[in-house]
Amino acid sequence: MKDKGKLLMLLMIGSETFFFIALIIGYVYYRNFTEATDTVAQHLDAVRAGIFTLFLIASSGTLMISKRALNKENFKGFNIFLLLSIVLGIVFITGQVTEYIGLYQEQITLSKDVFGSSFFTLTGFHGFHVILGVLALLILLIMSLGKLRRVSIAGFGGVEVYWHFVDVVWLFVFYFVYITPLL
Amino acid sequence: MINTDFFITPDNWSFAGIILSVLTIVAYLLFLKTKTSQKAYFIVTVILLYVSFGSPIALLRDYGLHSLTMLQHIVLLMIAPILFLKSIPSNTILFSEKFKLNILQQPKNYFLMFWWLSAVMMWGGHFLSAGILSAETGTAICGITATKDSWITAIPESLILSLLFIAGILFALPVFNPVKSKRLAPLKSVIYLFTACVSCSLLGLYVAFSASTDTLNSSLTAFTTLRSPVPLTLRADQELAGMLMWVPGCILYVLASVSILLSWYEENPVEKSETAIHTAK
Amino acid sequence: MSLFINIQEGEDQLPEVTSDKGRLLWISSVDHKQLGIMYLWLALFFFIIGGLEAMLIRAQLAVGDNDLISPEFYNQLFTMHGTTMIFLVLMPALIGLATYLIPLMIGANEMAFPRLNAFSFWMTCLGGFLMYFSFFAGGAPDAGWFNYAPLSESNYSSTQGVDYYLVGLILTGMGSIGAGLNFVTTILTLRSPDIKLNMLPLFAWMIFINGFLILAAFPLLNAGLFMMLIDRQFDAHFFIPSSGGSAILWQHFFWSFGHPEVYILALPAFGIISEVIPVFSRNKIFGYKFVAASTVAIALLAFGVWVHHMFAVGMTNTVNGFFAASSMLIGIPTGVKVINWIGTLYKGSIRMTVSMMFAVAFLIDFTIGGLSGASFAIVPIDWQLTDTYYVVAHIHYVFLGGTAFGIFAGIYYWFPKISGRFLSEKLGKWHLWLFVIGFNFTFLVQHVLGILGMPRRIYTYPSRFGSWEIFNMISTLGAVMMFVAIAVFLWNLFITLKKPRTAPKNPWEAWTLEWATNSPPDLKNFEEVPRVHSRRPLWDLANPDNPDKRLN
């Protein structure tokens, strides 16, 4: 493979996948393999989370459009759609933060019980990855706005793969945390 | 104790199945020109299919043995398709240039699709089988419960098994395509098989370790034990199912990977192209 | 057809530490050779510390009813000894050798990501020193190197030690993942255009596979470590059974990392042995493809055997049975390798250098370790012997008699390349014999101690157990011999590094590409890379009439 930045990112994503698999296994283990009942699930609003999920998916879409613009050397389109992806990512994070605040007001905390621990750890680590992704996208945006007009395709390739990965991980987290208790 | 009478009773061995198998083998031997090894592969494939569809082992399913369903699935999804593809001569119409279906022509380009398709079919097949099992025996399988008259019972089990066999063939196609040039590159094949292993392992682990949950303790523990010719407690049965899916399944793919690599190490493109020129002459 | 491929870059020597700005040039370096050397020094530093800890442990256990050190300190010692030796000695030593050699072996001038390489090193370094800082911060971790919950949770381990353990391992773990990423990308993207993937030297091939193992195994550990850190720092409940958590889950996480980790440490050592044995027996490796393919088999199977560390926690017979079977199976590819190495020795004209002697010692002692490992795959034996000194003997036969002997073989083999000087063979033989004999004295008797029932990690034992006292004394005397051996080794290093550089390019008449560079290599490894047509490029250059079979 020629593009070593993308290759590195793909390998790192493979590695991160195992990290998230481990966290998800933790959550599934407590819910399905022990006799405890999930105390967090009944306080979760799947519809609200679903709407924020759509924002995150949309940001992946806008990033793909901006990549297409970059390949056509349409820098204006690239910047606009990159900015849109960042905004959508920030909306998702805001959604998560407000959700956390709501849960803490209902006394659902990290130290409440094992489900509180797993919920905040799993979604927190995912949120942390989203924030990192937003920062990486911001750096790309600043670089393309500033004197460095050409964002290196390799750098963009890596960040793009990472952003899609964050998106896909969320779909799994959303399924296991929000959807399965409803089934 | 295992009830051996159950396996010896001729009534439990499907006679029509034997006839059909023999006819298939005869037809294969008559109409297709193949190497001896390929003939052997084909015969083993047919025997495996017969064992999973028409032997007492297939009937054991009526006793609600989850591990047995899993065994059928492994044979149909993983072992039989590979042997089947190995037994097909590369000049079969399905794989020749005349057959203008792009997906079959260039399975390399669609390997991601094949992977996902067969992964979905594998998980779906297991899920449906577990549902049917649950509906028929009234026990919970991995937390899956279905009532006696739910829609799930309307699906014939043999349909699911046949679909699994097809899914298995689709999955194995990019790696074991009868036409060598249409296979994935060796290292890619190893990664392809490995990622399948991961997905297999996760399901196997889930099945094995969810066996200790309260859903099982509250159900009738002795239910399958008493009547079944192969007495197992529900817990042992389910753990066996999970471990079967995981360990032999993965080892099979490890063996496949190793055999692919062994021939790859000695590969020499110069030599290969020379022999190609030679045969062209 | 030209004999060489041109690659452009400047030509300098590696900076001396003592030269003007030398120290700064090393600290800020992103050169793979400098980082490799720093990894090796780091490993040596912690090896000395870990060794001193081991000596204290052996001194405490030499006689019964001993109270040389306090029980609390004893717990900290064995925890830190295990953690240090595995994460701060063997890992950096192997990663260091690989960092140094991989670009040289594949005809590249750098790793794919030099700054990531430096990041990996400094993370490992930081993690190690942070872990040792715990001694000054109220107490080192004291819950064993696998840190079982709930003993390691805050209600049972009230000092900050375990927190330092968790953070330290997370940092070194990130460093290892960075190194793994770098190895895989380097081998995939920076090979000299002639070298196809199936032409890699075995060391490079095993590091390549090892990279994938690191990438898959370490995240599992990191997830567990983070969960426990959140338990301890933010009062979560992951691994605390009394409030709904599961202590077994920690064991699953730890060992699903821990068993691949055994192979992460073993595979590079296998790679070293696969380079050393052919060169010193003047034979091509016997069955390259089997050695290489069995590596892949080991890597894949490594993830399916971890429960054999947990047979005693009360899984059902079905689960235990399958894991016993898969644990037995993983012995097969390892056995294949041993047979191939012996096959390479067969009818070779063997040169008994220190490096070769360490390789032979590896063959014997690693096989013993492998066999005692296979005995643990048998569930009833495991139930009897788990958490006894039999386990201690087994782990040391695998890690010390296996990996460490492999590293020593590699150090003696590559030292002329890395430093341009030969380690003294005479002192080397003292090092070897004292170390090998001392090692077998120390740990062979521990098998017996384990069968007699001496539990691991006990602080002391009643002196009326006569046989225990005799065996423990033998064990301690063996440890003293190893201690002397390491002193000899350090002395050897010290006097050798003062000598002038005399090593020629290819002193051992080896065949892989690293021996085509100067000793030590210039800052830019290759002015021009020799054309490669087989797995032994330098053999082909030296014997144009009798080249190996062409592979490209």
Residue with tokens 């030297």: C201
Comparing C-alpha atoms, which of B260, B247, B245, B117 is closest to residue B193? B260
Q: How far is A28 from chain B (nearest CA, A)?
A: 9
Comparing C-alpha atoms, which of A27, A18, A124, A121 is closest to residue C231? A121
Cβ partners under 8 Å of residue B126, min gap 6: B69, B70, B73, B203
Q: How far apart are CA A113 and CA C522, in angstroms?
A: 59
Q: How far apart are CA C204 and CA C537, in angstroms?
A: 15
The residues spanned by each domain of chain C are 28-540
Nearest to C238 among A4, A12, A26 (CB): A26
- pLDDT per position as a tens digit, A19-58: 999 999 999 888 877 777 888 888 888 899 999 999 999 9
Q: Which residue of A has its CA nearest to C256?
A: A22
Contact at 8 Å (CB) between C143 and C79?
Answer: yes
**Are the Cβ atoms of C223 and A26 closer than 8 angstroms?**
yes
The per-residue pLDDT for B148 is 66
Contact at 8 Å (CB) between C271 and C205?
Answer: yes
Q: How far is A112 from chain B (nearest CA, A)?
A: 23
Phi-psi region of B231 (alpha: psi -120 to 50; beta: other; left: phi over 0): beta
Q: For residue C246, give Cα distances in angstroms to B242, C156, C243, C509, C515.
A: 21, 16, 9, 56, 53
**Are the Cβ atoms of C550 and B197 closer than 8 angstroms?**
no
Nearest to C316 among B235, B246, B271 (CB): B235
Residue with tokens 């032999």: B248
**Are the Cβ atoms of A32 and B143 closer than 8 angstroms?**
yes
Contact at 8 Å (CB) between B82 and B257?
Answer: no
pLDDT-based confidence at residue B239 (cuts at 50, 70, 90) = confident
* Chain B residues bordering chain C (beta-carbon distance below 8 Å): 187, 190, 194, 197, 201, 208, 211, 235-236, 239-240, 243, 246-247, 250-251, 253-254, 257-258, 261-262, 264-271
Q: Which helix (H) or strand (E) holds C347?
A: none
**Are the Cβ atoms of A4 and C113 closer than 8 angstroms?**
yes
The per-residue pLDDT for C147 is 92
Q: Taking the C-alpha atoms of C37, C38, C39 and C41 in order, what is their torsion angle to the nearest 10 degrees?
A: 90
Q: How high does pLDDT run on average in chain C? A: 92
pLDDT-based confidence at residue B222 (cuts at 50, 70, 90) = very low
Q: How far apart are CA C138 and CA C76, in angstroms?
A: 11
The residues that bridge with C5 in the sheet, in sequence order, are C529
The per-residue DSSP string of B118-130 comes to HHHHHHHHHHHHH
Cα angle: B177, vertex B183, B185; to 5 degrees: 150
Contact at 8 Å (CB) between C407 and C93?
Answer: yes
The per-residue pLDDT for B214 is 45
Q: How far apart are CA C153 and CA C163, in angstroms?
A: 10
Cβ partners under 8 Å of residue C136, min gap 6: none
Comparing C-alpha atoms, which of C172, C201, C204 is closest to residue C90? C172
Is the bond preceding C219 in cis, omega lying within 30 degrees of 0? no
Q: How far apart are CA C82 and CA C199, in angstroms?
A: 37
Q: How far apart are the first and last CA of chain C?
A: 14
The residue among C315, C319, C552 with the most chain B CBs within 10 A of its CB, best to mutate, is C319
Kindly report the three-state secondary structure assignment for every residue of C390-412.
HHHHHHHHHHHHHHHHHHHHHHH
Q: Which residue of B has its CA nearest to A14?
A: B195
Structure tokens at C543: 């014997």
Structure tokens at A144: 């393309």
Phi-psi region of C138 (alpha: psi -120 to 50; beta: other; left: phi over 0): left
Neighbours of C260 (CB within 10 A): 25
Residues in chain A: 183
Which residue type, as a one-letter code, is found at position B138? G
Q: Which helix (H) or strand (E) holds C5?
A: strand C4-6
**Are the Cβ atoms of B257 and C303 closer than 8 angstroms?**
no
Q: How far apart are CA C186 and CA C181, in angstroms?
A: 8
The per-residue pLDDT for C90 is 96
Q: How far is B255 from chain C (nearest CA, A)?
A: 8
Q: How far is A7 from chain C (nearest CA, A)?
A: 7
Q: Contacts of residue A8 in chain C, CB cutoff 8 Å?
A: 112-113, 116, 181, 185
Q: Taking the C-alpha atoms of C61, C66, C68 and C73 in order, what is their torsion angle to the nearest 10 degrees?
A: 70
Q: How far is CA B250 from the centre of its chain?
A: 12
- For chain C, the farthest-separated pair of C-alpha atoms sits apart, in whole angstroms, at 79
Nearest to C185 among A7, A117, A118 (CB): A7
Q: Taking the C-alpha atoms of C125, C129, C132 and C137 in order, what is their torsion angle to the nearest 10 degrees?
A: -150
Q: Which residue of B has its CA nearest to C327?
A: B247
Comparing C-alpha atoms, which of B258, B265, B185, B268 is closest to residue C289? B265
Q: For residue B192, give Cα distances in angstroms to B107, B124, B226, B254, C388.
A: 13, 20, 43, 11, 41
Q: Taking the C-alpha atoms of C38, C44, C48 and C50 in order, what is their torsion angle to the nearest 10 degrees?
A: 90
Cβ partners under 8 Å of residue C285, min gap 6: C202, C274, C277, C278, C291, C340, C344
Q: How far apart are CA C59 and CA C473, in angstroms?
A: 9
Q: How far apart are CA A154 and CA B30, in angstroms?
A: 57
Cα angle: C168, vertex A30, B132; to 5 degrees: 135
Half-sphere exposure of A87 (CA within 13 A, CB side): 7
Structure tokens at C317: 């017979």
Q: How far is CA A168 from the centre of its chain?
A: 8
- pLDDT per position as a tens digit, A102-150: 999 999 899 888 999 999 999 999 999 999 999 999 988 888 887 666 6
The per-residue pLDDT for B53 is 83
The pLDDT tens digits along chain C (552 residues) read 344 555 555 556 667 766 767 778 888 889 999 999 999 999 999 999 999 999 999 999 999 999 999 999 999 999 999 999 999 999 999 999 999 999 999 999 999 999 999 999 999 999 999 999 999 988 899 999 999 988 999 889 888 999 999 999 999 999 999 999 999 999 999 999 889 898 999 999 999 999 999 999 999 999 999 999 999 999 999 999 888 888 999 999 999 999 999 999 999 999 999 999 999 999 999 999 999 999 999 998 888 889 999 999 888 888 899 899 989 988 999 999 999 999 999 989 999 999 999 999 999 999 999 999 999 999 999 999 999 999 999 999 999 999 999 999 999 999 999 999 999 999 999 999 999 999 999 999 999 999 999 999 999 999 888 899 999 999 999 999 999 999 999 999 999 999 999 999 999 999 999 999 988 898 888 888 888 989 999 999 998 888 888 887
The per-residue pLDDT for B145 is 67
* C28-540: CATH superfamily: Cytochrome c oxidase-like, subunit I domain (1.20.210.10)
**Are the Cβ atoms of A118 and C234 closer than 8 angstroms?**
no
Q: For residue A34, give Cα distances in angstroms to A28, B209, C25, C246, C256.
A: 9, 10, 55, 9, 20
Q: How far is B244 from chain C (nearest CA, A)?
A: 8
Q: How far apart are CA C41 and CA C93, in angstroms?
A: 8
The per-residue pLDDT for A150 is 62
Q: For residue B250, give Cα distances in angstroms to B237, C26, C255, C318, C551.
A: 20, 46, 19, 17, 31
Contact at 8 Å (CB) between A128 and A100?
Answer: no
The residues that bridge with C528 in the sheet, in sequence order, are C6
Neighbours of B113 (CB within 10 A): 13
- pLDDT per position as a tens digit, A140-180: 888 888 766 666 666 788 899 999 999 999 999 999 999 98
Residues in chain B: 281
Q: Is the pTM of this model over 0.80?
A: yes
